[in-house]
Amino acid sequence: MFDLERWQEIFETISKNKLRTFLTGLSVASGIFILVILLGIGEGMKNGIEREFQSDAANIIYVFPGVTSKEYKGLNPGRMIQMKNDDYQFTTTENKEALEYKSSVYRIWGGMVSFGKESGSYRVEGVYPDYQFLENSSMLLGRFINYKDVNESGKVVIIGNRVKNDLFKDAKSILGEYVEISGIKFKVVGVYTDPGGEREESRVFVPITTAQKVFGGGNDINYMSYTLQPEGTYEEALASANKFTKKVETYLKGKHTIAPDDNSAIRVNNMLENTKRFYDLMGMIKMFFWGVGICTIIAGIVGVSNIMLIIVKERTREIGVRKALGAEPISIIGMVLHESIFVTSFAGFTGLILGLVLLDVVGPMIQTDFIYNPTVNFNVALSTVFILIVAGAVAGFFPAYRAAKIKPIVALRDE
Amino acid sequence: MITIKDLHKSYKTGNNSLHVLKGINFNVSEGELVSIMGSSGSGKSTLLNILGMLDEADTGSYTLDGVAIKNLNEKIAARYRNKFLGFIFQSFNLINYKTALDNVALPLYYQGMKRGERMDKAKAYLEKVGLAQWMDHLPNQLSGGQKQRVAIARALASDPKVLLADEPTGALDTKTSYEVMDLIQQINDEGRTILIVTHEHDIAQMTKRIVNLKDGLIIDDTKVNQVRALQNV
Ligand SMILES: Nc1ncnc2c1ncn2[C@@H]1O[C@H](COP(=O)(O)OP(=O)(O)O)[C@@H](O)[C@H]1O
Ligand SMILES: [Mg+2]
């Protein structure tokens, strides 16, 4: 390896056989490049979905109504279910001990929010103080809704960071200013941020009591969300979540006269179950990308072996000449291997670096909810390069060995 | 320099066995310039390849410069070739992506000589064959005669005991052939032992001894009055 003379000989050979070197290098470099990109996309998808999950509390349970699909006690299917305050009251009092956070939500559709000349359409939600934790939001300025606001039906509003940027631009004072929601003045008491990103930050929250009074909601609510007290293990948490949702479902179905086996009238979204599905899905995505990646590597190895085979074949006569001039078999093997290892390593690292650079440059520019921050575990990428180098060496060894074994007289006759 | 006794060689092709050399006895002393003649297929190349350790005899003994050549493995054969022999081929067998200089330096690389030294030495040999100003050219930029001169320089580079040339003028026109023969004669004049396979009489007349091969046997072995190639150029 550290034989300078041999390096000189190799460099000479490489620099005078550019096409051959380029072709070997290309198959290796592109293999590694594709692998890096694939792994990056896989990681990006995982990050993207993970971020979606972080936008709300990890163990959140939503209960929202739908439309009946079955006839029951003389009531026709196709009936729209409307949940009321007492549904929320009942489920929360009934399960007081089990619940950690809870909030019902009354949503105002097409709410126009304006401040001075600026205005925009944002989701307006009437909520309880716990909603902050259910949504995984944190305060940038001021505070969230408190129980005093709810009890007094205070005209206060918490705005998302995106809303703040849109309406307030770079105004200095935000807290204490008044915004209009569909023509009614609300005092801004807080600005929040949400890991769900801009989509989740373009909402405003008002006390649910205020929302129902001011926007004519009466006792209507749109959905309810809860989290349960933490449990020791995931399995325990999932079990108590399932128990809880079963209970709520049964209660609501009884109260709203819904067939017990009607699955479309009351819907339950249990994040813990989703989390399990998510990790299963992630496992599959990862396995898929690894599968494709490994196939790419195998294709790379086959490519390198083929090229080595062709190279050695092409060089048979040259090998014969070298042997006639005094090259020992070991030196022929060494020459072929040295060249192939050098070329595969160089190309492998080039592909690796190109892939990493591309991910680094393009990664942050990707604007979709499904891919976020695509990165590659450097060690994984590095090991694949080494695998490819070793494979290239092994692949190069057999034709080199055979070439070294050919009698010089046979090699010299090769045309 | 060379002693061979009762050399036999046959080639197997499928079920048939072709007995090419049927008991060759033959000596060459130091400083000789010998031509091996015979019609096509008479086994000239086979004999030369065995002498060159590129191929192996079935039976018989071979001694080169006092060393018994037998039970060769590839490694030892390679060393002996490098140390004792220089090859000149009809089709030159230069490495096409190497310059004239690098081609000539190649046997020295396999001797383990350092780069600087081997380049100097290779340059000296190219000068000797009159191609110093062509040293940076690739083989395909050279004429046939020039290629053969490079090949001769390469054969000489490792300072071998014996030069083996298989139809060195076979691919050249008459004038160029004589120029190459002139070079070979000069090298022989310096005392180097040279064996040439040829089927051309005029070329054979330029050596000092003609060995005639027929049906795998030496039928004639006579000293000749050497014709100097230079007179015919
Ligand atoms: N590797 C081989 N396998 C089978 N037959 C061969 C081989 N090499 C040479 N021959 C045969 O041996 C005979 C002698 O060949 P060769 O020594 O090349 O003759 P020459 O050089 O005198 O023309 C020819 O008939 C040739 O076909
Ligand atoms: Mg022949």
Which residue's CA lies nearest to atom 17 of ligand 1?
B43
* Percent of chain A's residues with pLDDT above 70: 98
What pLDDT was estimated at residue A377? 77
The continuous run of DSSP H or E covering B10 comes out as strand B2-13
Q: Residue B198: which residues within 8 A CB-CB, separation 6 or more?
A: B35, B36, B37, B167, B168, B169, B170, B204
Q: How far is A383 from chain B (nearest CA, A)?
A: 35
Which of the ligands is closest to the CA of residue B20?
1
**Annotation: CATH topology of B29-57+72-232:** Rossmann fold (3.40.50)
Question: What is the pTM for the complete model shown?
Answer: 0.70
Determine whether A195 is exposed, middle or buried from the number of CB atoms within 10 Å of its CB (0-12, 13-18, 19+).
Answer: middle
* Helices A18-54 + A329-362 axis angle, to 10: 40
Per-residue pLDDT tens over the stretch A198-219:
888 999 999 999 999 998 888 9
Least CB–CB distance from B78: residue in A17, A328, A412: A328
CA pair distance B209, B195, nearest whole angstrom? 10
Q: What's the mean pLDDT in A331-352?
A: 86
What number is the average pLDDT over the span A383-389? 80
Those residues with Cβ within 8 angstroms of residue B190's Cβ, 6 or more apart along the chain or in another chain: none
Query: DSSP label at A129?
Result: T
Of the two residues B209 and A346, the one the predictor is more confident about is: B209
Q: Does position A2 have pLDDT exceeding 60, yes or no?
A: no
Nearest to B75 among A318, A329, A412 (CB): A329
pLDDT of residue A165: 92
Q: Kindly write down the DSSP assignment for every residue of B21-59, as one continuous string.
A: EEEEEEEE-TT-EEEEE--TTSSHHHHHHHHTTSS--SE
Mean pLDDT over A389-415 rounds to: 81
Q: Domain residues of chain A, as ranges?
A: 4-53+277-413, 61-269
Sign of the Cα pseudo-torsion (B183, B186, B191, B195, in order): positive
- Whether residue A245 has pLDDT greater than 80: yes
Is some CB atom of chain B closer than 8 A to the CB atom of A325? yes
In a mutational test of the B interface, the residue from A4, A325, A328, A415 whose CB has the highest number of chain B CBs within 10 Å is: A325
Test A325 with B154 for CB contact under 8 angstroms.
yes
Cβ <8 Å between A324 and B54: yes
Cβ atoms within 10 Å of B13's Cβ, excluding its own: 7
**In contact, B36 and B197? CB cutoff 8 Å:** yes
How far is residue B103's CA from residue A288's CA, in Å, rounded to a whole number?
Answer: 52
Tell me, using a 6 A CB cutoff, whether residue B130 lines ligand 1.
Answer: no
Give me the count of residues in chain A: 415
How confident is the model over A108-158, as pLDDT tens digits?
887 899 998 899 999 999 999 999 999 889 999 999 999 999 999 999 999
Range with the poorest average pLDDT among A18-22, A219-223, B31-35: A18-22
Confidence at residue B219, expressed as pLDDT on a 0 to 100 scale:
94
Cα angle B20, B25, B27 (rounded to 5 degrees) comes to 125
Phi/psi at A70 (5° precision): -130, 145
Lowest mean pLDDT across A49-58, A98-107, A128-137, B193-202: A49-58
Mean pLDDT of B55-75: 90
Q: Is the pLDDT of residue A60 over 70?
A: yes
> Mind telling me how many Å the CA of B195 is from chain A's nearest CA?
16
ipTM over 0.90: yes
Mean of the pLDDT values across residues B188-202?
A: 94
Using DSSP's 3-state secondary structure scheme, residue A256 falls into coil
Best residue in B48, B89, B109, B138 for a mutation probing chain A (most A CBs within 10 Å): B109
Q: What is the mean pLDDT of residues A340-368?
A: 84
Q: How many CB atoms lie within 10 A of CB B73?
A: 9
The answer to whether the Cβ–Cβ distance between A326 and B107 falls below 8 Å is yes
Question: What share of chain B in percent tops pLDDT 90?
Answer: 85
Give A411's contacts in chain B (Cβ within 8 Å).
Answer: none
- Indicate if the pLDDT at residue A368 is higher than 60: yes
| Average of per-residue pLDDT values in chain A | 86
Span B125-182, pLDDT tens digits: 999 999 999 999 999 999 999 999 999 999 999 999 999 999 999 989 999 999 999 9
Which residue in B46, B74, B81 has the most chain A C-beta atoms within 10 A of its own C-beta, making it the best mutation to test that interface? B74
Average pLDDT for A223-231: 91
Question: Is the distance from CB of A222 to CB of A83 less than 8 angstroms?
Answer: yes
Model confidence band, residue A1 (pLDDT cutoffs 50, 70, 90)? very low
Q: Can you tell me which atom of ligand 1 is nearest the CA of B49? A: 17
Domain chopping of chain B, boundaries: 29-57+72-232
Rounded distance from Cα B46 to ligand 2 centre (Å): 7
Q: Which residues in chain A touch residue B49, judged by CB atoms under 8 angstroms apart? A: 409
User: Under a CB-based contact definition with an 8 Å cutoff, are residues A289 and A283 in contact?
Assistant: no
Predicted local distance difference test score (pLDDT) of residue A203: 93
Q: In this structure, are residues B151 and B98 in contact, taking their beta carbons and an 8 Å threshold?
A: no
C-alpha–C-alpha distance, residues A394 and A390, integer Å: 6
Contact list in B for residue A16 (CB cut-off 8 A) is 97-98
pLDDT at residue A369, rounded to an integer? 65
